[in-house]
Each structure stands twice: as C-alpha cells, then as structure tokens.
A and B are shown apart, each in its own frame.
Chain A
Amino acid sequence: MAYKNYILVCAGTACESSNGIALYEELEKELKAQGVDAEAQLVKTGCFGFCEQGPIVKILPDESFYVKVGPEHAKEIVSEHIIKGRKVEALLYDKGQKKSLQAAEIGFYQKQQRIVLRNCGVINPEYIDEYIAREGYAALEKVLFDMTPDQVVEELLAAGLRGRGGAGFPTGLKWKFTKNVDSDQKYIVCNADEGDPGAYMDRSTCEGDPHSVLEAMTIAGHTVGANQGYIYIRAEYPLAIKRLNNAIDQAREYGLLGDNILGTDFCFDIELRLGAGAFVCGEETALLASIEGKRGMPIPRPPFPAVKGLWGKPTVINNVETWANIPMILLKGSAWFSSIGTETTKGTKVFALTGKINNSGLIEVPMGTTLREIIYDIGGGISGDKKFKAAQTGGPSGGVITEEFLDTPIDYESLQSIGSMMGSGGMIVMDEDDCIVDVTKFYLEFTVDESCGKCAPCRIGGRTCYNILDKITKGQGSLEDIDTLKTLAQAMRKASLCGLGQTSPNPIMSTLHYFEDEYLAHINDKTCPAGKCKDLLTYTIIEDKCIGCTACARVCPVNCISGAVKEAHVIDQDQCIKCGQCFDKCKFDAILKG
C-alpha cells in the first residue's frame, strides 16, 4: 500500500546541528500517536542547500516547503497537513509578505535556470527520439521553413548571445561576417577542446545532450551557407565522442544531417576531429591548424576565421555551450533570451563548481547572479566550515575573486573589472588552507607545460615566472622578484602571439593585487600563512603537551621522531620530510605546525 504523503526532513549536517534529529524523532512519534503512520512516510534527505533557513521540511506530493521547523511544530504538521490536508501557514517560507506555498515558487530554487543543460539529466542522450520529443530539431524546422538567413542572424543579434568560450564576442556578428563573405566553400566548427583545469561543462553537454550541438551547427550551416561541419574534441573524452558519433549516425538516418535535409535542397554533414589534448588547440587559429592536420600552433589575427578560417575558407567557430543555447533562442525568441541576464550579458552561464565547496557540481545560473549566491546558496558553502578565501575563475587565463567582491553580479565586464574573467566556466573555490602563491605556481606550471613554444614571450617569460614563484614558495624569494614578475607579466601580455601567452600572467597579476601580503610573508618572514608550502614549514613537538604515546613516531615514514614511551618526543628537523602525518595523528595537539 502506497503512502499518501511523504515528509522529507533535511538531514544535512547544518540542519542536524539545528535540532533536525529531535524534529525527526518528534514527527515519528506524532505520526504514530495520531494514528497516521501508515499514511505518511517520514524520510531523511540530503541537504536542500538552504541551510540558514533550516531545519527544512518538504512534504510530497504537494511540495509544501516548511522552514525553521522545530520539534514543537511536529504535532501541528501531522494534525493539520497530514490529517486535514491544510498547510501550516506559519512555517511556510515568507519573503516580503508573499507566502511561498511550493518549493518551485521559492526564489532559492530558481537561482538555477537551465537553458544549455535543459536536457542533461533528463533525456537519454543515446536516443534521438527523446531529444525530438523535447522540442528537438524544432528550431531547425523553423529556420528551414519559416525564416530567412538574415532573420536568423538578426534574431541572434537581438538576443545578445555572446561567445561562451571566454572572450564574449557577439555570436550573431560572427555569423553575419561569414554569411556576407562570398566563397564557394564555408565551414562550421564546434570547439569542444575544453582544457581549463577543473572545467567539464562542455564534456557534460556533449555527453548529456549531443543533438543540441548538432542541431545548432546545422542551423548555422544553413544560415551562412556552409555544407560541412567539424566538431573538434579532445580524445580524452571517450564517452562524449561515442555519444556524439552515435547522435550523428541517428541524425543521418532520420535525414536531419546529410543530403536534402527534411526534403529541402539544404545539405549539411558533421564529422568529428579528435585532438590530442593540447591546451593551445582551444585557441581558434591553433584549433583550425590542428583540423587541417598541421601542428597546433596559433597564427596572428586578423584575418579572423569568420573571413579566412579552415583551409582558408570562411569559418564559423563557436564553443559547445554557445551552440547549445542557439536552438532555444530561435524557438523561444530573442525577447525571451534577452530578458535573462544583465545589461551587457544576456542569458545564462554554466559553471563547473569545484574546490573546497560542499555541493560541488555543474550549475547553470542567469548572468548577473552573484558569487555569494553561487557559493553559499547553490554550493552549500565552504566545506568543513572553513573561511572563504577566494574563487578562481577563467582557469589559467583568469584571476581570483576575493571576499569583498562576493556580491558583484557576474558578467563579462564585471569580472574583467575586478581582474578576473568569465573564461569557459571553471570555478574553483579556495579556503583559508590554500596558499595563494602555491595556487599561482600551479597555473604557471600548467601554462608553461602547454605553451606551444612558437613565440618567445610565452615560452621564456612563462618559464621565468614559474621559476620565480617556485623560489618564493621555497623561501628564497626577494623583493626584486615581485618587480620582475610584474615586468615580465606586462611583456607577456603585450608581446605574446595568442591568448595563451597573453593571459597566462593573469593569475600572477590578480593574486599580486589582492594577496600581496601573502607574497611578502613568504619573502620577508619566510612563512606560508596557509601552511601549504612545505619548505617553509616546521613541525615541532610541544614538550608539555606530549604524553609519550608514540603514535607520531609509529606513523613517521622516515623514522625521525624519537623518544621513550611516556616521555616527550622530539622531531629530528634534518631528517623531517614535512609530510604532516604526525600532525594529523596526534590526539593531544602536541605538535606545532608553522
């Protein structure tokens, strides 16, 4: 016998600490006492992510959402809601007098808005029919039968869609350039060479909704007059490749790709080109070179690919997320799309939220959402109740956003003005335990490794910056090093050939600006405030606190801790490799790290 109602009680750590367990037990008691334990099931759930309003109770199937529920409310919830079917008004989430009756009405749950990810986690990506059932290929129908290419371009311009790969160039304008060039052959390219550390938006989109990319590329082909498309995707994404190939086969079988699409004169086909995973191939001119079978190295622009791209022919090249937006814009109209977002940046942005955050994940929010909403409301806050230090956006080309900017509405311009950038959508959250110099060194190590080596500012400048940062983390830095870093950064920005070199000093400039004191601590005081840089750490045993339990000596991998049982132990500093295992093992706080 199925239950009529389900009472969901949040059992996340935050709710549990605000008396959630007592509430659960009280509800259990009341259900029995009032004789309805067979009608309603009591269920513990994961965090609803709305912790400051906890403990939270949600009742299904009517989705009533009760906040700040205490054990004393259990009786009323059961007698009113479960038995009489009346909502307990006093407990409903109240925002500005208007009582929200259902979860979906609460602003918190609308912080995410899924346009790009509309089908991810909803449809089976291996069946074209499920995509079609959710208005798939309806935008292509519209473009083929009801719109002229000019109207399509106008619609995209009016929508205000800007490239989601990072630079934010208006997509409609790109298409317009290519459309207006006279050429016997044009190409459409999808940039799926996602390379930023910690970013996986494009992979998830290709895996979860491959047809949205195919449909959009076909639309672009019709609009600009191209008959061939290429998806450049890295070989490290085997599942995305498999699903895209499968989707292409199904679309061809249905006549949605190939000759005479839907019985018209329009012919268009798409093929995959696999990249070997070089970061620089995400740069569009290097990407096109790689498709042509050449070594993936950038060339100066202009001419831009829109005019002279693949094999010298006009080429529209957009990133996966940009493509996935397009069918929805054409179906729902530019007015709908441009109503979402900020003045300069319309629509939504997908972020891969990672790092020291409770609910890491793939999120999609309207432009203009603040970092605070993303981290604390959607992400559930910093893990382990640590203090927020900074968020890194834009990957190796971006910078850090500090606490003072948590309330800045996010768009291309606002992020740039505070020294970071939108980038492709990786967002890495750092807490007080992360050393900013160490993080910067990580990004430089990445760009040094990925530099193609063609131009000197990037090849030599990057390496020199890395060496200086390495020196600083080892306590061997000097104040001149900071000036050298700044000079090098300027030179790299101005003289590098492509985006990789021009932007790779960004992490240095941004962290020097906001965290200069941390650099200075490494240089002047030879300490790492976050306790991350091994060479600047020492572990010592506090004699008074040590009871001689030998736990540390037993765990030490190099046997450098000595001392008799029940007597204070000593660490041999010359032998210590600073692994920190003794520090973690000690139950008496007898080991000092610093």
Chain B
Amino acid sequence: MAKMTLEELRNLRESKKKEMTQRDDEGKSAQIIIGMGTCGIAAGAKDAFDAFLDELNSHNVTDTKITQTGCMGLCFSEPTVEVDVPGMPRVIYGNVDDKVARRIVKEHIIGKALVSDHIFDKPAADIIK
C-alpha cells in the first residue's frame, strides 16, 4: 500500500476492526494464536508451531489459521497458545509442546472439546473494547 492520508487510515482501521470481530460471529474459521516472544520460543513454541502445521495438514483441516503473537506474560506455562473455534469459548492453553499441540488439533479443532489439564486463564480484562 502506498502512503496513506488520514481518511485512508481511518477506513483501514474500521475495515480491519470488522474483519477481526466478524471472524467470531460468522464462524468462518478457527484460529490458533501462538505466543512467540523470546520466552515462548525458548520454551519450544517453534516446535509447537510445526506440530500444529503438521497435524492440521495430515487431517486436511483447511479452515484453521495459525498466527503468532507476543508474550502473554504467563511465563511459568510457556509455550502458551490461544485457541478460538467458532461457537466455543476462547481459551488459553499453557505448556503446549509437540504432543499437546497435536492433541489440541484432534480434540479441540476437530473434536470440538476442550483439552484437559492445559487450560489457563487470561491474565487481565482488555482495556480496548
């Protein structure tokens, strides 16, 4: 995109906002968000990332997007992963290694059930509503 004017920036913000909220309502796709700060990576987030990709591919799941984010602050349970499947509560999983990543795909993304033993709480309410 070329340099923006004020108008264009505002339009972009509105359209992106819609895009981000619509995802939940229309149930287009599920999302796996992996915490990939230095802390997460050191704890094995890249292995989890690869395991997610591999497991999604081998089950031919195409409507699930994998994305990365920064540190959620739950260092004691890195790597952390947020999973958002339409129609299900958004949850955060901690201590996600290769095995847990594969369980999340099989049980949560495909089986539509939460994965026991690895759910943690979000640390704070969002100030940007």
Contact = CB atoms under 8 A, between A and B. Distances in A.
Interface string A35-72: 00000011111101100000000001100000000000
Contacts of A363: 73, 123
B119 interface: yes
Interface in A130-150: 130, 132-138, 141, 144-145
A129 B16 contact: yes
A130 to B, nearest CB: 7
Interface residues of B, number: 55
Interface stretch (A110-118, A273-281, A486-494): A110-118
A262 B9 contact: yes
Interface stretch (B36-44, B47-55, B56-64, B98-106): B36-44
B121 A48 contact: yes
B76 A125 contact: no
Contacts of B6: 141, 144-145, 262-263
B120 A45 contact: yes
A109 interface: yes
Interface string B1-14: 11111100110110
Given A2-B112, A124-B67, A203 B38 contact: yes
A592 interface: no
Contacts of B119: 8, 43-46
A483 B3 CA distance: 65
Contacts of A141: 6, 9-10
Contact of A45 (B5, B19, B70, B117): B117
Given A46-B119, A122-B126, A133 B19 contact: yes
A484 B33 CA distance: 56
A110 B123 CA distance: 9
Sorting the interface of chain A by its residue count into under 10, 10 to 19, 20 to 34 or 35 or more gives 35 or more
Nearest to B67: A124
Contacts of A362: 71, 73, 75
B29 interface: no
Given A118-B128, A253-B1, A204 B77 contact: no
B87 A2 contact: yes
A262 B37 contact: no
B114 A239 contact: no
B70 A120 contact: yes
B20 A120 contact: no
Given A115-B127, A145-B6, A239-B38, A207 B114 contact: no
A120 B12 contact: no
Given A112-B124, A132-B13, A262-B4, 12 more contacts: A42-B116, A43-B114, A43-B119, A46-B120, A103-B121, A109-B121, A114-B123, A114-B127, A120-B37, A120-B69, A208-B70, A263-B6
Closest 6 CB pairs of A and B: A208-B70, A255-B3, A121-B72, A133-B16, A362-B73, A112-B124
